[in-house]
Structure 1
Amino acid sequence: MPTRNDLRNVAIIAHVDHGKTTLVDALLRQAGALGRAKGEGTDNDSTQDRVMDSMDLERERGITILAKNTAIHLHDDDGNPVIVNIVDTPGHADFGGEVERALSMVDGVVLLVDASEGPLPQTRFVLRKALAKGMPVILAVNKTDRHDARIEEVVDETYELFLELLEDAGLPAETLEFPIVYCNGRTGQASLNKPENGTVPDSPDLGPLVKTLLDTVPAPEYDAEEPLRAQVTNLDASPFLGRLALLRIHSGEMKRGQQVAWCKADGTITRTKITELLVTEGLTRTPADSAGPGDLIAIAGIEDIMIGDTLADPNDPRPLPAITVDEPSISITIGINTSPISGKSGKKLTARLIKNRLDQELVGNVSVRMLPTERPDTWEMQGRGELALAILVEQLRREEFELTVGRPTVVTKEIDGKLHEPVERVTIDTPGEYVGTLTQALATRRGRIENLVHHDTGWARMEYIVPSRGLIGFRTEFLTETRGTGVLNHNLEGYEPWLGDMRARPTGSLVADRSGVATTYSMFSLQERGQMMVEPGTEVYEGMIVGENSRPDDMDVNITKEKKLTNMRKSTSEELERLIPPRILNLEQALEFCAEDECVEVTPGFVRVRKVELDQTVRGRAKNRKPKP
């Protein structure tokens, strides 16, 4: 079968924060792509970092959310030019749908593992996906210069992970033979020789990694007799060309202006025309006349094209198998803002605008689903995890929508007539002194310990299987218990029978009993009851959560009470009232904080936690109503 020896398609996969985007930056720099993208001629003149993280949220949070590809031009040992398409993928489990789409575009992967942290839950997830597709793997041990690096142990842990996954998948042991490259993405160095812990590789550049990549990742194969077949793996937009479909050509040739058969997911086939064809050069897309098997391209001209659709020869249309992703495990409800002070911050308030925007999200995000609810102005959004759904809500907020967002809940399944719930594999790195506290906290959340290792550094690694609903709201408690020093990672492990009731939030809420403005005088007396969550001068309304009660019950409070002024002066009247700084919640913290009868009001200017039922009389009546026998 013929191959494209002038082309390689590879994905960089890893756990979150193990250095994928930084390594791609170094490859681009050393290939001169950054300088060309800026219109400059030198290879190493760019000081910009994380160029692949183009979204504001990605740069602010330091994570990759969307899978993106770039192309660098290299030469093999014989001096022949080779184009390497590199796909940078997210490392967070919540964006696993992006990883699955990226793997459908490539022929091999570089598995990046931190030289200190070693394989973590998302490492297992992405490696399992790559092995299931039979892809060759290059192990890149990154950040070898870390002071706490343990390179040899990390390599052994990765071998153990390979063995475990190979056994689960029933794959041959030959797959265990993979090349190992030692890297430092920050300095742009790589070597096949293992460096000492805490030192950089002995090579001055990433040449050893590039050579290993060219030798290990196979060139795209194709059948010269097969007609055109190309699958859409992602969508983008251009202000000049409209919707762009990003796709990989599996066979045949595609040309600008060509007539193709558009094979949709519902089985229908429509004849259409390619108005523009673009290929990636460094960080930009440039027009091209044609592209062949294995090429990753973007095309324009089909306004309603969707991810997973196939473009084929109109005389012999053969649709490719659809892209499959794992089931969602967490859901939230999103609806119009129903608070008494809605419309003061955002510009997009109606159910029609929100519905249109959520429909638009479904087009480019294959791991999110939308379901109707009993209310016509509220929809259930299902996703991989809290972070993915919080990112969606944050994007809507920045687009000036006002929303009411419900408390996250788990998506259950019925298997063999029994209710099953999603469970997650949790890996915790923590100072040893907090192991007992975390063990107790996870036990109340129905956690099951799988492994516990104490390192010589005084740190410990804990592995647990925990129900997904037990992790809702756990991150804040985790950071409090470990004084902000612990590291928590988790990803979906599977489904298990419903594990019964679970401890809810141990504290209640302080709820405003009237509308008005929060006063310092009132807050000074209320702060003895619990932790305040609003600042003096904040506009509040009946049913809004203004603080966390130190006791389990909710308490209706008057936070707008003002000090009565008189003509008399007292010796204590000039004393300064000192307020404890309030705990202002961001969007993710607010979603974690919510109790079952609470929701979050999201506007461009504010994030407020509130009761679903604002009227305290109605809430009190429902609380006191006894169930019928």
Structure 2
Amino acid sequence: MSIELTRNFSIIAHIDHGKTTLSDRLLEKTNTISEREKQDQLLDAMDLEREKGITIKSHPVTIFYKAGDGKTYKLNLLDTPGHVDFSYEVSRSLAACEGALLIVDAAQGVEAQTLANMHLAMDLNLAIIPVINKIDLPSANLPKVYRQLEDIVCIPHEEAIHASAKMGIGIDDILEAVVQRIPPPETEQDGLLRALVFDSVYDAYRGVVSYVRVISGSVHRGMKVKLFATDEVYEVKEVGIFTPKMTRTDSLEAGDVGYIIANMKSAADVKIGDTYTDYMRPCPSPLPGFKEIRPMVFSGIYPVDSSDFEALKAAMAKLQINDAAFSFQAESSVALGFGFRCGFLGLLHMEIIQERLRREFNMDIISTYPSVIYEVTKTNGEEINVDNPSLLPEPQEIQEIREPIVKVFIMLPGEYIGDIMQLVLEKRGSVDNTETIDDMRVMLTCTVPLAEILVDFNDKLKSMTRGYGSMDYEYAGYQAAKLIKMDMLIAGEPVDAFSMIVHQDKAASRGRELAERLKNVIPRQLFTVAIQACIGGKIIARESISPMRKDVTAKCYGGDVTRKRKLLEKQKEGKKRMKAIGKINIPQEAFIKVLKTGD
């Protein structure tokens, strides 16, 4: 098919504005899927995506559409995630497109992530087609959405297409707009093969499957291809398109989106953002890839059974090829044994990876409390990065600790502004700017330490605003803060798995909370067990687990009271001796309960 009849486009929106439902309708309208294959969330292949109602991976699919001008067009669609943690997936999908459908919910209006995704598309100079979805809802407020499109997104409201993906309204208009408004792909005139790898998955039977967008030239079975990053040469075993299942074709031409299966056996063979070229006639330079992604959140992941270490390592390598934003390296802990220090884009990303390890690879794992990377200047002038509390130098060796901060954009109804400002201040943040969007909503621009928004910030925002608040954040550098390392001592012994870096002002309350939680999960011993939170040598919080008591006087029937006292004194001595030499074995379940993402 001629490149003039090809269109590549993505669907971008805030989470839950109807991207996946619209994808389903487009597939049905063009008869890409048969009546028998129809199901909701068709492009969401993972059980996790269906259960949570969110898209985690972007999914390509090729649609053939006969337009109003009588010509048949090949439309390559990429459905993208909407959650802030997966914006890297969105940026990679957009790099393979010439245009994007920007979905706006007719009831909710423009949200924080709508803006973030639109800026990603504008940076790549994509043609943007606004679609106002869910117009059939009783709460749809079209005049408000028109104003927001013009004032916030700077798109004339006349350009917007009215649609309801659920009811199938406006689907023909969207397909016609894709054909009319999105330009065909551009190609190089030299005819050399250039194919951008925008995603990849690992198949147990066929090895590595690379998802590619062919920029120029063509690729077919039996061809020898080379990757720029590794300089390795492979023979192409199969090429094809997604319909939405993988469908083998004779070749992939310039402008096509499809897959390449070469004889790659290892998960590390292909790098996302790399370029395929012909081994015999290589192109002079690789295509510009994607910006290097930096993990924002770190957590330790350990196998419950230490003999599963190698299996966990293999599982993580396979996940990494599927998710380039996930990184890991081996580490060991006195309490938990051998495991991995893993980097994630955010808390939802961390939760998804852990769940995939459990489901897809049957791994039994424990994860430690999430943390971030701190920059530390030592008194001798040395600069180090610390992502694990156990690596933090002694207080007397530290000159300054800097923590990562993020710029947070919060959109919310005006009536909740006081509560949210209070929440930001509680999280050690500052409100830099307040902007009125329309008569209902405001946008707050805040600066908050990343460590403070990790665990429950988004949950609290949603509950305080009754679900109407939305947030997006971007990395904003480092700033100095009064941070200290807090250790947990159990019977006088420090347990490294419970160590954390906290702000000086919050150390006491955090210590009390953790000590209380540990008291509830550590089994009782025959002697008193002290659980202490300490900073340096200073104890800031303590809980005691009372001992189990054996009734040693049970065998005394009557007689002199001194007989009972003698037995009790003997027991007291025994407990004293046991306390001096007794060791606490903390059961694995205690770690799992306490460390479970810090709830």
Q: TM-score, normalised by structure 1?
A: 0.70
Equivalent-residue separation in structure 2 for 1:106 and 1:10 (angstroms): 5
Q: In the alignment, what sits opposite 1:83?
A: 74
How far residue 16 of structure 1 moved from its aligned partner, in angstroms, is 0.9
Q: Which amino acid aligns with 2:320?
A: L
> Which structure 2 residue ranges, 5 or more long, are not aligned?
378-382, 384-399, 484-502, 534-539, 555-585
SS in 2 for 1:184: coil
Q: Which amino acid aligns with 1:287?
A: R
CA contact (8 A) 1:329 1:382 kept: yes
Residues 534-585 of structure 1 show CA distances to partners (whole Å, capped at 9, x for unaligned) of xxxxxxx99899xxxxxx945344599999xx9xxxxxxxxxxxxxxxxxxx
CA contact (8 A) 1:116 1:149 kept: yes
Structure 1 pair 33–511 and aligned structure 2 pair: CA distance change class (3 A): same
Q: Which of the residues 400, 408, 414 maps onto 2:362?
A: 400
The answer to whether structure 1 residue 27 and structure 2 residue 15 are counterparts is: no
The answer to whether structure 1 residue 356 and structure 2 residue 318 are counterparts is: no
How far residue 279 of structure 1 moved from its aligned partner, in angstroms, is 1.6
Residues 428-463 of structure 1 show CA distances to partners (whole Å, capped at 9, x for unaligned) of 53582x543332221122333322659767x77655
Q: In the alignment, what sits opposite 1:98?
A: 89
Equivalent-residue separation in structure 2 for 1:71 and 1:34 (angstroms): 11
Structure 1 pair 511–493 and aligned structure 2 pair: CA distance change class (3 A): closer
Q: In the alignment, what sits opposite 1:18?
A: 17
Residues 175-232 of structure 1 show CA distances to partners (whole Å, capped at 9, x for unaligned) of 9899321221111112xxxxxxxxxxxxxxx111111111111111213423111121
Equivalent-residue separation in structure 2 for 1:454 and 1:130 (angstroms): 22
Quick check: 248-257 or 300-309, which moved more? 300-309
SS in 2 for 1:148: coil
Q: In the alignment, what sits opposite 2:454?
A: 472
How far residue 107 of structure 1 moved from its aligned partner, in angstroms, is 1.1
Q: In the alignment, what sits opposite 1:9?
A: 8
How far residue 485 of structure 1 moved from its aligned partner, in angstroms, is 4.6
CA contact (8 A) 1:328 1:368 kept: no
Which runs of structure 2 are paired with 1:75-474 in the superposition (5 Å)?
Answer: 75-162=66-153, 179-190=159-170, 206-238=171-203, 240-260=205-225, 262-266=226-230, 268=231, 270-281=232-243, 283-303=244-264, 304-318=269-283, 319-325=285-291, 327-337=293-303, 342-343=304-305, 349-373=307-331, 377-398=338-359, 399-412=361-374, 419=402, 421-429=404-412, 432=415, 434-449=416-431, 450-451=433-434, 453=436, 462-474=444-456
How far residue 110 of structure 1 moved from its aligned partner, in angstroms, is 0.8
Equivalent-residue separation in structure 2 for 1:237 and 1:491 (angstroms): 31
CA RMSD of aligned residues (A): 3.9
Equivalent-residue separation in structure 2 for 1:97 and 1:63 (angstroms): 15
Q: Which of the residues 478, 491, 494 maps onto 2:473?
A: 491
Equivalent-residue separation in structure 1 for 2:519 and 2:188 (angstroms): 72
CA contact (8 A) 2:17 2:105 kept: yes
Structure 1 pair 467–227 and aligned structure 2 pair: CA distance change class (3 A): same
SS in 1 for 2:104: strand
Structure 1 pair 608–159 and aligned structure 2 pair: CA distance change class (3 A): same
Equivalent-residue separation in structure 1 for 2:189 and 2:141 (angstroms): 48
Equivalent-residue separation in structure 1 for 2:62 and 2:532 (angstroms): 51
Equivalent-residue separation in structure 2 for 1:611 and 1:238 (angstroms): 31
How far residue 396 of structure 1 moved from its aligned partner, in angstroms, is 1.5
Structure 1 pair 451–273 and aligned structure 2 pair: CA distance change class (3 A): same
Q: TM-score, normalised by structure 2?
A: 0.73
Equivalent-residue separation in structure 2 for 1:474 and 1:30 (angstroms): 41
Q: Which amino acid aligns with 2:72?
A: P
Q: Which amino acid aligns with 2:168?
A: G
Equivalent-residue separation in structure 2 for 1:454 and 1:390 (angstroms): 33
Equivalent-residue separation in structure 1 for 2:172 and 2:443 (angstroms): 35
User: Larger Cα Rg: Structure 1 or Structure 2?
Assistant: 2
CA contact (8 A) 2:369 2:596 kept: no
The answer to whether structure 1 residue 555 and structure 2 residue 538 are counterparts is: no
Equivalent-residue separation in structure 2 for 1:133 and 1:441 (angstroms): 35
Q: In the alignment, what sits opposite 1:202?
A: none
Q: Which amino acid aligns with 1:336?
A: Y
Equivalent-residue separation in structure 2 for 1:109 and 1:160 (angstroms): 20
SS in 2 for 1:69: strand
Structure 1 pair 241–212 and aligned structure 2 pair: CA distance change class (3 A): same
Residues 373-416 of structure 1 show CA distances to partners (whole Å, capped at 9, x for unaligned) of 5758233222221111121112122233233322222335699x
Equivalent-residue separation in structure 2 for 1:557 and 1:511 (angstroms): 12
Equivalent-residue separation in structure 1 for 2:438 and 2:157 (angstroms): 28
Equivalent-residue separation in structure 1 for 2:166 and 2:212 (angstroms): 31
How far residue 33 of structure 1 moved from its aligned partner, in angstroms, is 2.1
Q: Which amino acid aligns with 2:272?
A: I
Q: In the alignment, what sits opposite 2:397?
A: none
CA contact (8 A) 2:295 2:325 kept: no
SS in 2 for 1:425: strand
Equivalent-residue separation in structure 2 for 1:3 and 1:560 (angstroms): 81
CA contact (8 A) 2:532 2:541 kept: no
Equivalent-residue separation in structure 1 for 2:463 and 2:235 (angstroms): 59
Q: In the alignment, what sits opposite 2:583?
A: none
**Richer in helix (by share):** 2
The answer to whether structure 1 residue 73 and structure 2 residue 67 are counterparts is: no
Structure 1 pair 271–472 and aligned structure 2 pair: CA distance change class (3 A): closer
Structure 1 pair 252–500 and aligned structure 2 pair: CA distance change class (3 A): same
CA contact (8 A) 2:152 2:437 kept: no
> Which structure 1 residue ranges, 5 or more long, are not aligned?
39-45, 164-174, 191-205, 519-540, 546-551, 567-599, 613-629
SS in 2 for 1:299: strand
SS in 1 for 2:28: helix
CA contact (8 A) 2:412 2:469 kept: yes
Structure 1 pair 71–356 and aligned structure 2 pair: CA distance change class (3 A): same
SS in 2 for 1:5: helix
Equivalent-residue separation in structure 1 for 2:548 and 2:357 (angstroms): 31
Q: Which amino acid aligns with 2:372?
A: V
Structure 1 pair 606–334 and aligned structure 2 pair: CA distance change class (3 A): closer
Structure 1 pair 231–302 and aligned structure 2 pair: CA distance change class (3 A): farther
The answer to whether structure 1 residue 61 and structure 2 residue 52 are counterparts is: yes
How far residue 108 of structure 1 moved from its aligned partner, in angstroms, is 0.8
Structure 1 pair 554–315 and aligned structure 2 pair: CA distance change class (3 A): same
CA contact (8 A) 1:229 1:311 kept: yes
Q: Which amino acid aligns with 1:443?
A: L
CA contact (8 A) 2:367 2:595 kept: no
Equivalent-residue separation in structure 2 for 1:16 and 1:611 (angstroms): 25
CA contact (8 A) 2:366 2:592 kept: no
Structure 1 pair 185–481 and aligned structure 2 pair: CA distance change class (3 A): closer
SS in 1 for 2:191: coil
